[in-house]
Amino acid sequence: MEKKITIADIARMANVAKSTVSRYLNGGSVSEKTRRKIDTIVSDYNYQPNALAQNLKLKINHTVGVIVPRLDSTAQVEMLRGLDAANDEDTFLIVNTYQSVARELAAIEKLRNQHVSGLIILTANITDDIRDALKAFDVPVVIQGQDEGDFHRVLMNDRQAGDIVGQYAMSLTPKKVLLLTIPEQQDWSIGHERFTGVYHALADYDVTTIHTKFNIDEARNDALRVMSENTFDLVIGATDRMTIGALQAGIATHQSAKYIGFGKSDLSTTVTPHLTSFEYDFYETGKLMYNLLKNVRENNPSEKQRLVFDGQLVERESTQNFY
Amino acid sequence: MEKKITIADIARMANVAKSTVSRYLNGGSVSEKTRRKIDTIVSDYNYQPNALAQNLKLKINHTVGVIVPRLDSTAQVEMLRGLDAANDEDTFLIVNTYQSVARELAAIEKLRNQHVSGLIILTANITDDIRDALKAFDVPVVIQGQDEGDFHRVLMNDRQAGDIVGQYAMSLTPKKVLLLTIPEQQDWSIGHERFTGVYHALADYDVTTIHTKFNIDEARNDALRVMSENTFDLVIGATDRMTIGALQAGIATHQSAKYIGFGKSDLSTTVTPHLTSFEYDFYETGKLMYNLLKNVRENNPSEKQRLVFDGQLVERESTQNFY
DNA sequence: TTGTATGCGTTATCAT
DNA sequence: ATGATAACGCATACAA
């Protein structure tokens, strides 16, 4: 329970000047004798430098803000893991905003006050307000999932994903297809990009499209409405959770369709049957985002960086016949 | 993209002293004229105080550290939500430790450097090293799930939970019971407390107990080993994930047992059948933890606080006959 | 090698 | 009501 000790304290106890202690701490030149004196004091009292004072003085802040819109999403959690894995020298100031624009704006203010040296946003929905707040922020910003020219960004190749899933869907020669997605203005990448390839490939098929929410319960209820009146043999959801909602609706209405989802989550292998899904490696994405930020901070490029990440289709039981 | 502006800048532009600006900002007495002058400058340049300098000066730090051992757990995420909901004035410095003691120790050091004014630990496993590091930390610490007399703590009433589940299990009059848990030294509350009531109630029944891990895959594999050689009609897992692992093993081995889990997670209603589970309200727990910390910080009680939280059994399809 | 002095941005004390 | 000044803990340019 020792009180926090400062450089001045050490200096006094060792009968040296503060600057000598500072030099000792930063690997400057100190005589063997004073080095030993200071050494024992530092370890005896378990001295820890005050990061606040350091940052204030040096004006480089080894703190980066991370804004996380939702934690009930495997993708976001995996990206966080990636960030942590790649991080070697920073402290993350993580703020959860629960998809509230107001909270996100407040978070940006807060992080600005903390003078973080960078900002990583795992969001997929940048409103005008947020864009303005971000641009007024004089630090590098890395965002994810949204192709905003104003910021450095890491994107999922949702267009390609849609093409691949579309081709795959065709190969299943379905009779009647149900598509679950969200309004495109809510999330362009997910609501639009992901499905363009699918629409294109299934242009000549019997396709029903409904809009729903990100969570399982709502998706199930919405799916239930159409599935209780129609029988589908192929269901494609814009996210795994939506697809699982539909899967439950399918079980409830006793129809045995095939199911395809998007996104990597452990839910895919939690449900029965395991879900065929187009997966991104969000862990790697997180690493990439951190390294991008670090790179930008060091090299200060004039152009905004734009990185695109591919995913892959993983086939599981839900698109097979025998279950 | 305005550069960050300081009190000194404002003072210069308004032709007043720094102290006047400071007084203005903190609601001190300033003449109407200077007030207006400063007003426009502040809003024009969108002045934001430097929280670092403030904290350094005031020596009260509105930052609290939050150590989260795992994010792939609904309980932890819900507690985080609760913390956020109850928080009104602090900035959370969230550190994910991924259940690594080394990372947790490093996190404690880091938070100490940041001079946080409190520490909230959502852990369930305090090793000696960690206990020592925590006690050397001169700020209030609130932990969860572990009955450590050295710290303020919020506990789940796992003992009572075990009793209730035990009684309920008896009422199902099972012939052969499988229990999945973890070694008690790994997590006393979960590994021991939760099951004492169950053991007691089922003392005269045919019970098999196996140890497994927290994740679904391992639990499934471990369960598969015993379930491929025996048929059970009741399975109780120490967590929902374990129980789901066993559920999958049950499906794979074509046995229709009843299943009971512990812990509140959306997985309960994701799997088919929905899982009967003993649930805690971790969102409320999170709120409670924050309020406890706040209370302790303000009133500095001499005794360590100890709060106990009850849960309840929620019956779902997995303990019914007709599925 | 060591010490003195100054500044980072803020608040607080004490004159004026 | 206002301003000069010191202090928080640290790092550094410069002098000794």
Give the tens place of pLDDT for each residue, A277-286: 999 999 999 9
Does B218 lie in the same domain as B77? Answer: no
Residue of A81, A94, A270 with shortest CB distance to B94: A94
Does A181 lie in the same domain as A95? Answer: no
Expressed as residue numbers, the domain containing A31 is: 7-58
Is residue B99 very low, low, confident or very high in pLDDT (cuts 50, 70, 90)?
confident
Flag whether A132 is in a domain.
yes
Mean pLDDT of A245-257: 93
Give the lowest-confidence range in A47-51, A53-57, B71-75, B123-127.
B123-127
Flag whether B110 is in a domain.
yes
Does A275 lie in the same domain as A163? Answer: yes
Q: What per-residue confidence (pLDDT) applies to B177?
A: 96
Chain A residues inside the 8 Å CB shell of B136: 1-2, 46
Q: What per-residue confidence (pLDDT) applies to A285?
A: 95
Mean pLDDT of B283-309: 93
Q: What per-residue confidence (pLDDT) applies to B89?
A: 84
pLDDT at A322 over 70: no
Distance A84 CA to C10 C1' (A): 32
Say whether residue B50 is in contact with chain A using an 8 A CB cutoff: yes
d(CA B176, CA B179): 10
Does A229 lie in the same domain as A86? Answer: no
DSSP collapsed to 3 states, A244-275: HHHHHHHHHCCCCCEEEEECCCHHHHCCCCCC
Give the lowest-confidence range in A99-108, B123-132, B312-321.
B123-132
pTM of this structure: 0.84
Q: What per-residue confidence (pLDDT) applies to A124?
A: 64
> Hey, are the CB atoms on A55 and B52 less than 8 Å from each other?
yes
Mean pLDDT of B64-82: 90
Flag whether B1 is in a domain.
no
The chain B residue lying nearest A54, using CA atoms, is B52
Does B88 lie in the same domain as B38? Answer: no
Distance A6 CA to C9 C1' (A): 20
Number of domains in chain A: 3
Q: What angle in degrees, to the nearest 10, is found between the helix axes of B32-44 and B7-14?
A: 130
Give the tens place of pLDDT for each residue, A121-173: 997 678 899 999 898 888 899 999 888 999 999 999 999 999 999 999 999 99
Does B67 lie in the same domain as B106? Answer: yes
Does B209 lie in the same domain as B113? Answer: no
pLDDT at B204 over 70: yes
Does B167 lie in the same domain as B87? Answer: no
Cβ pair A79, A44 in contact under 8 A: no
Best probe of the A interface among B114, B213, B220, B221, by most A CBs < 10 A, is B114
- Residues 230-259 of chain B with CB under 8 A from chain A are 244, 248, 251
Does A236 lie in the same domain as A195? Answer: yes
> Hey, are the CB atoms on B272 and A272 less than 8 Å from each other?
yes
Choosing from A43, A58, A73, the residue where a domain stops is A58
Does B272 lie in the same domain as B129? Answer: no
CB atoms near residue B301 (< 10 Å): 11
Does B183 lie in the same domain as B222? Answer: yes
Flag whether A1 is in a domain.
no
B41 touches strand C (CB under 7 A): no
> Hey, are the CB atoms on B248 and A81 less than 8 Å from each other?
no
Distance from CA of A96 to the nearest CA of B (A): 8
> Hey, are the CB atoms on A71 and B77 less than 8 Å from each other?
yes
Flag whether A291 is in a domain.
yes
Q: What per-residue confidence (pLDDT) applies to B2?
A: 54
Say whether residue B150 is in contact with chain A using an 8 A CB cutoff: no
Q: Is B71 exposed, middle or buried (0-12, 13-18, 19+ CB in 10 A)?
A: buried
- Residues 213-232 of chain B with CB under 8 A from chain A are 216-217
pLDDT at A323 over 50: no
Q: What per-residue confidence (pLDDT) applies to A208?
A: 96
Residue A199's domain is classified under what CATH number?
3.40.50.2300
Work out the mean pLDDT of chain A and round it to a whole number: 91
- Closest Cα to residue A295, out of A80, A118, A54, A59? A118
> Hey, are the CB atoms on A52 and B61 less than 8 Å from each other?
yes
Distance B138 CA to D14 C1' (A): 38
Q: For residue A240, what is the DSSP state? A: H
pLDDT at B322 over 60: no
Cβ pair B203, B146 in contact under 8 A: no
Mean pLDDT of A7-25: 92
Flag whether B271 is in a domain.
yes
Give the tens place of pLDDT for each residue, A274-317: 999 999 999 999 999 999 999 998 888 999 999 999 999 999 99
Say whether residue A267 is in contact with chain B using an 8 A CB cutoff: yes
Flag whether B186 is in a domain.
yes
Is residue A72 very low, low, confident or very high in pLDDT (cuts 50, 70, 90)?
confident
What percentage of chain B exceeds 90 in pLDDT?
Answer: 68
Flag whether A2 is in a domain.
no
pLDDT at B251 over 80: yes
Does A179 lie in the same domain as A135? Answer: no
Q: What per-residue confidence (pLDDT) applies to A1?
A: 44
Give the tens place of pLDDT for each residue, B146-196: 889 999 999 999 999 999 999 999 999 999 999 999 998 888 888 899 999
Residue of A95, A96, A115 with shortest CB distance to B50: A115
Q: What per-residue confidence (pLDDT) applies to A62?
A: 87
Mean pLDDT of B295-315: 92
Residue B46's domain is classified under what CATH number?
1.10.260.40
Mean pLDDT of B186-210: 92
Cβ pair A275, A316 in contact under 8 A: yes
> Hey, are the CB atoms on B84 and A72 less than 8 Å from each other?
no
Which chain C positions have some atom within 7 A of a protein CB?
1-5, 7-13
- Closest Cα to residue B262, out of B209, B320, B193? B193
